[in-house]
Structure 1
Amino acid sequence: MIELLVVIAIIAILIGLLLPAVQKVREAAARMTCSNNLKQLALATHGFADTYTGKLPPACDTFPTSNSGGGPTAGQMFGTSIVFLLPYIEQQNLWNASYSINGNWYGINVPTNGGNVRIKTFVCPSDPSVGSAASVQWSGTNWGQGDCSYAANFQVFGVPGFTSGGNPPEQYFWGKSTFPASLPDGTSNTILYVEKYAGCGSPGSGGNLWAWGWDAYLGPLYAAGVTGPQTWQQSPNPWQSNCNPLLASSAHTGVMNAGLADGSVRTLSQSMSANTFWLATVPNDGTPLPSDW
């Protein structure tokens, strides 16, 4: 009996030693998946720009030609910058199905036609808030599985200078950026996409929905509604109360993944200064990136 107890104790100790190692392996795999997702988004943006002669998608508007918040015309599509990447991440069928019966624009922004679909490329396995989209109501319908763990850089896809929060005027989201002319600081020095919790703040009040437009608090954006050097939130806990929906946020230990305009992915250390992160966010400040980049 004593020998059995000793064996059991040894096994328990080994399991205790093994568990942290297993958790580290799982986190490493999740971070790798997350990094790959961001790379796909960055490369998809290149594909979009190649298709539309250097134009980048808007933060949220109609395309291929923005009509400054006016009504859409046949053949145009309305959506966030991430929505416009669907055909370039093997989601052509969802893109096609999102059109209304009139053959123009609106379906992707309606939960029952697109926004309640969870897309694997848009979800980071480490994001603890995935699943909160169902608490967001619009026209009596919840957003189901419309979660997104990534956010587009508003300073690239929107109109820099926007500072107010919550349901801002439409024109701030129009964009009209071109690639690479709108990124004079260099494609390897400019962030296109970062991580951001799918849920941020109390359920329904803030977060990250891939098809949600016109609202910096629920749209898949970061760096909208802020004016100066900012960093990201590292594992805000609990996310229901300690997460700021206007900031990027990462669930990885000590780091943030960022997809750059040259198509690469960079791992940013938590020790990076807010100023450096902001300089990498603004595409045309003309300032060399500090050594902690």
Structure 2
Amino acid sequence: MLTLHAQSTSVPHQSLRMASNSSKLEKAQFMDRPNPRRAAFTLVELLVVIAIIGVLVGLLLPAVQAAREAARRMSCSNNFKQLGLAMHNYHAAFDKLPMHGTGTHPPAPINAWVSSPDGNNMRLSALVGLLPFMEQQALWQQISNPLLGRTDGTTTNPGGTIPWSAMGPTPENIQYPPWATEIAALRCPSDPGTGLPALGRTNYVACTGDSAQNNRDGYLEKPGVVLPYKPSSGTATRSQASGRGVFHIGQQLGLRDILDGTANTIAMGEIATDLGDKDVRTIGGRLAGNNNASPFIADPLYCRNTVPGIDPTRPQFWAVGTDGVSDGRGFRWSDAYPVFGQCTTIRPPNSEICGMSSWDRNMSASTSSRHQGGTHVLMGDGAVKFITDSIESGNQSAGNVVSGGTGLRAPGSASPYGLWGALGTRGSREVTNSDF
């Protein structure tokens, strides 16, 4: 009986073990089956994920844009630095800075503003002379030698010499290929301007100082030289009194002429090119008259305060008609005249242009840029500085220093436009003791 009892008690335990193993097998098989209820995200989960991604993009996008602008600004600064090296290499070769307002004379003297296919009328900017020193030797060879061919692909030159004469025609001639060439080293990556009605654009121009009397009247009479535009003794005197910058149209200066020190004097400035949107910084409003006693020379705020002038609801744009569509800022890198190739240190950076409603006449045109809060300038020693819009700029109601001026406007006086004006003058004996 004991043996039977032992056998009878062992059967249930074996059955339990078998049942347990069977249960585990069924459970494992059940776990291996796909669960149709967990095949995808629920709508709520998907919306939460999208919302999270949207928040992250919103947080990161400004940082990405700021990083891109910082890179563009650094590239712009590097372009300007290379231009400074070219300027100093030119000076090392010739013991002078490149002349601003140079070139060739047409066969017969003509007024400075007249277009000519047979000579550039002494209107070439300092950038033309710098070409061989900024890795543009091929372009310089085209300009400095007679050139056959036109921008439109033809080989004839109606109304002019065949081929184009050495140093080219006046800078507005679109059919002269070099003048229509866009030079990457002269463009700031932050500036979106491109294409017609501009020819080859530039974002870097010569600084002519703290006076708006910066037009074609800078030429001095020289024995035996027939000038295309012969100034009177009065215009030459005015030009000499007001031409206080590193560059003076029609005259060639050197580093030794920068008496205030090359590290304290601006040689070139950055400008924004015109986009055709009536931006007050990139095209002139038709406000001032056409005479040498222009109101903006006596009052730099003339265009700012004239009504109607600047749009009060959009203070960065004109409310009045502007100069011609081809007269935008920086539209011709080869042109020495004010709107295309000059900047002044009268009004602070990114201020409105104020001129005589003409690209070749007197003009107050500060530096400008597409960067946030300021502009680059190239100092006489080759250093590149970023000048903020809030730089100390003295008495903005004070008139320019001019020939015949009295008191603070007398020739040789310190700039009335504070640190900004002092940085633009080469020899007024100002002491710059501020960090800028």
Q: TM-score, normalised by structure 2?
A: 0.53
Which is richer in strand? 1
Q: 1:196 to 1:19 in 2, by over 3 A?
A: same
Q: Give unmatched runs, 5+ long, in structure 2.
A: 1-42, 105-109, 113-118, 147-162, 220-238, 240-248, 275-281, 284-321, 353-362, 394-417
Deviation at 1:153, TM superposition (A): 1.0
Runs of 4+ aligned residues of structure 1 deviating over 4 Å after TM superposition are: none
- Count of residues in Structure 1 that have an aligned counterpart in Structure 2: 256
- Give aligned-pair identity as a percent: 29
Q: Is the CA contact (8 Å cut-off) linking 2:350 and 2:374 kept in structure 1?
A: no
Give deviations 1:122-180, integer Å, cap 9, x for gaps.
1111124x21x5115xxxxxx2xx1111111124xxxx866166xx33626212211x2
Find the partner of 1:181 among 251, 256, 265.
Answer: 256
When residues 124 and 105 of structure 1 are mapped into structure 2, their CA distance, relative to the original with a 3 A threshold, is: same
CA distance in 1: counterparts of 2:131 and 2:169, whole angstroms? 14
Is the contact made by 1:256 and 1:268 (CA closer than 8 Å) also made in structure 2?
yes
Residue in structure 1 matched with residue 341 of structure 2 by the alignment: 220
Deviations 1:184-208 (A, max 9, x none): 1111111111110122126323311
Alpha-carbon distance in structure 2 between the residues aligned to 1:36 and 1:108: 30
CA change 1:269–1:170 in 2 (3 A) is closer
SS at match of 2:124: strand
SS at match of 2:252: coil
How has the CA–CA distance of structure 1 residues 56 and 283 changed in structure 2, closer, same or farther, with 3 Å as cutoff? same
Q: Which one-letter code corresponds to 1:247 in the other structure? A: S
Asked whether 1:58 is paired with 2:99, we answer yes
- Asked if residue 123 in structure 1 is aligned to residue 244 in structure 2, the reply is no
1:147 match: 201
1:292, distance to aligned residue in structure 2 (A) = 4.4
TM alignment of 1:55-204, pairs within 5 A: 55-62=96-103, 79-98=124-143, 99-100=145-146, 101=163, 104-106=166-168, 109=171, 110-111=173-174, 112-128=176-192, 130-131=193-194, 134-136=196-198, 143=199, 146-155=200-209, 163=213, 168-169=216-217, 171=219, 173-178=249-254, 180-199=255-274, 200-201=282-283, 203-204=325-326
**What TM-score do the two structures reach when normalised by structure 1?**
0.77
**Secondary structure in structure 2 of the residue aligned to 1:257:** strand
3-state SS in 1 of match to 2:60: helix
Instruction: Note if 1:272 corresponds to 2:313.
Output: no
Which of the residues 326, 345, 348 maps onto 1:231?
348
Corresponding position of 1:31: 73
SS at match of 1:82: helix
State the AA in 2 paired with 1:11: I
- Cα shift at 1:78: 6.7
Task: Report the secondary structure of 1:206's partner residue.
Answer: coil
How far off its partner does 1:278 sit? 1.4
Q: What is the aligned partner in structure 2 of residue 139 from structure 1?
A: none
In structure 1, the residue matched to 2:88 is 46
Secondary structure of 2:46's counterpart equals helix
Per-residue deviation at 1:277?
1.5
User: Is the alpha carbon distance of 1:211 and 1:252 closer, same or farther for their aligned partners in structure 2, counting shifts above 3 Å?
Assistant: closer
State the Cα deviation string for residues 212-243 of structure 1 (Å, max 9, x = none): 435312x22112xxxx7432117x8xxxxxxx
Larger Rg: 2
Please give the secondary structure, in 1, of the residue aligned with 2:103. Answer: strand
**Kept after mapping to 2: 8 A contact 1:57/1:175:** no
